[in-house]
Structure 1
């Protein structure tokens, strides 16, 4: 995506940078998400990105926030559909697993932790917390939604990082962790149903 030299509003410039950063993350991994690489991708200067994000860590934090917002919105919609009669828990599982694997959130989160930029995870954690609060409105307080969210998130993150080689080493289908996550969610929901 090259937005070469067209005058952009500050919001458009920021959005273009985040889109480019996301593409770099998916294509080449978190180490590729640098101010220089993003600037080159969108035809802007390093200084322009410094103005918007302050640093590479600021760019990564903004990327995490952008990704978390988009993913939690999709997951929230899927949860609400499941509640309204379309009980497709596998859709919820697939969205969570895809966010960490195909969308690069697992690699980005791991990179942030390993490079000491843990506060950049705050937007992801806040988005998940907000999602849980939103989908638990009006639900019975006994509903173990927070525990289910923890379990699903950790399974999705682990699968993004080690799922393919572990499944291969154990002779299991690649999507076995997804099947297990959906099964565990179904069982927990049955066990806590009134």
Structure 2
């Protein structure tokens, strides 16, 4: 008579097949899981164990690809920046683009997906200066058709981008809350910030 214990049953149970991914796909899987946690719970919830569990991998896998949870945070911010840059650059090089397109795209990005909170979190934890990708993105935007046509001076373009990012992050973090506290509609902070950016662009046209 064979006695099946709980341990023997679990040992004999078929295990789910291991998913083999390329290094790029493995990184993307981990970052997608981290982004889901970021959106739902905020950057303070980005813990190594939770990211690994959400991605369906072991801790060592996350460490192998990113070194630490700080590496995940930085890579996640870079991923968001790249996605935003691709959208802005495509829009600026397309027909019918307007000067305010890039600013609106920035505000959309920082008001959604927890990007503003992650940017602030990286700065507060001393990781902000690791975001060297921002310079590459700015250089790419400066070279777009719209940027060259609307504001020929490179330094003026960079100033507009700097102003846009600072205002977009601020609105993403505090806009609706402060608007409500001051008796304004939740979108009022965004409207005022976009007006300020548009005025800056108009002065340079």
TM-score scaled by length of structure 1: 0.84
1:146 aligns to 2:146 (yes or no): no
- The question of whether the paired residues in 2 share the 8 Å contact of 1:100 and 1:160 is answered with yes
Structure 1 residues 187 and 80: CA distance shift in structure 2, 3 A: farther
**1:133 matched to which residue of 2?**
142
Where structure 1 has 5 or more consecutive residues not aligned to the other structure, the ranges are none
**How big is the alpha-carbon RMSD for the aligned residues of Structure 1 and Structure 2?**
2.4
**2:98 matched to which residue of 1?**
87
**Larger Rg, first or second structure (1 or 2):** 2
The equivalences for 1:152-163 within 5 A come to 152-163=164-175
> 1-side partners of 2:182 and 2:77: how far apart?
32
**1:72 matched to which residue of 2?**
85
Match of 2:23 among 1, 5, 10: 10
The offset of 1:105, in angstroms, is 1.7
The offset of 1:69, in angstroms, is 0.3
- The question of whether the paired residues in 1 share the 8 Å contact of 2:160 and 2:197 is answered with yes
Where structure 2 has 5 or more consecutive residues not aligned to the other structure, the ranges are 1-15
> 2-side partners of 1:181 and 1:93: how far apart?
9
> 1-side partners of 2:143 and 2:131: how far apart?
20
Which is bigger in relative contact order (C-alpha 8 A, separation at least 6)? 1
The equivalences for 1:42-191 within 5 A come to 42-81=55-94, 84-87=95-98, 89=100, 91-123=101-133, 125-135=134-144, 136-137=147-148, 140-141=152-153, 144-191=156-203
- State the Cα deviation string for residues 52-110 of structure 1 (Å, max 9, x = none): 011111111111111110011112233334xx434372x43332112222122211111
Classify the secondary structure of the residue corresponding to 1:144.
helix
TM-score scaled by length of structure 2: 0.80
Residue correspondences, number: 187
- The question of whether the paired residues in 2 share the 8 Å contact of 1:60 and 1:120 is answered with no
